[in-house]
Amino acid sequence: MQVQLTVNGKAHVLDLTPNTLLVQALREDLHLTGTHVGCDTAQCGACTVIADGQSVKSCNVLAAQISGASVTTIEGLTAPDGTMHPMQVAFKDCHGLQCGFCSTGMVLSAVDLCTHHPQASETEIRELLEGNICRCTGYQNIVRLAVTGGGKGVFHHAGLEAALAKAFTPEAAAGVPIDAGDMNGDIHGSAAYRAHLVGVMAQRAFARALG
């Protein structure tokens, strides 16, 4: 069957089987591998994309269900000249990631959160992000960057970095800061995930442990 999708601003007509998941269409047919496959049960959030303005878990949606939709993946957040979206910059500068496996889905969930709930409290942010599992960071910096960026209304422009600067210091960051150059591929989706299998196994184990 034919499925029409506009992905990252480009129109596609895909010849898919009726049971093709959106994540499969993105990764296998369109080769947008920044959308990661984690738990396969819609619990971990690594596969999160934005469809028609709402975040969805692409492992739990058939491509045919959203035929005609406009989809944004992590690759679509980065400008053609390589300039990262303010939320991607925030994740890098504020140490909102470590291994990077969950980061692409986490970034898109944070974009959705700050778009629809710009004045969310810390408690509300924790509730809104509970569908995304991170096995490394402890979530603290992710919540703080969402509080700072969304709450001050600066999310939609490049001033996000300045607004976040006072909230994040090396002393406040969890763990030891790593080379920012190593983070870029993880948060704009262009790099092959070098520990993909390990990440998949860990995400699935964590999801099962949560029941």
Q: What local confidence, expressed as pLDDT, does residue 205 receive?
A: 52
Decide if pLDDT at 191 tops 60.
no
Q: Are 142 and 149 in contact (CB under 8 A)?
A: no
Query: Angle 173-176-180 (CA atoms, 0-180°, nearest 5)?
Result: 85
Strands of the chain (E only): list them.
Answer: 2-7, 10-15, 48-51, 54-57, 70-72
Residues carrying CATH 3.10.20.30, the chain: 2-77
Q: What local confidence, expressed as pLDDT, does residue 66 receive?
A: 96
Q: What percentage of the chain exceeds 90 in pLDDT? A: 33
Span of 43-47, 74-78, 106-110, 121-125 with lowest mean pLDDT: 121-125
Residues carrying CATH 1.10.150.120, the chain: 86-193
Q: Tell me the average pLDDT across 116-126.
A: 83
Residue type, 5: L
Q: How confident is the model at residue 38 (pLDDT cuts 50, 70, 90)?
A: confident
The closest alpha carbon to 61, from 71, 120, 100, belongs to 71
Decide if pLDDT at 105 tops 60.
yes
86-193: CATH topology is DNA polymerase; domain 1 (1.10.150)
Q: What local confidence, expressed as pLDDT, does residue 189 receive?
A: 62
pLDDT tens per residue across span 145-187: 776 654 443 344 344 444 444 444 444 433 434 444 455 565 5
Q: Which of 40-49, 63-72, 153-162 has the highest mean pLDDT?
A: 63-72
**What is the C-alpha separation between 17 and 78, in angstroms, rounded?**
30
- Arithmetic mean of pLDDT over the chain: 76
Span of 94-98, 141-145, 178-182, 186-190 with lowest mean pLDDT: 178-182
Span of 25-29, 55-59, 61-65, 121-125 with lowest mean pLDDT: 121-125
Q: What local confidence, expressed as pLDDT, does residue 86 receive?
A: 82
One CATH from 1.10.357.10, 3.10.20.30, 3.40.50.300, 3.40.1280.10 for 2-77: 3.10.20.30
Q: Are 146 and 120 in contact (CB under 8 A)?
A: yes
- Only one residue has tokens 């196994």, namely 201
The closest alpha carbon to 185, from 110, 74, 30, belongs to 74
**What is the C-alpha separation between 211 and 208, in angstroms, rounded?**
5
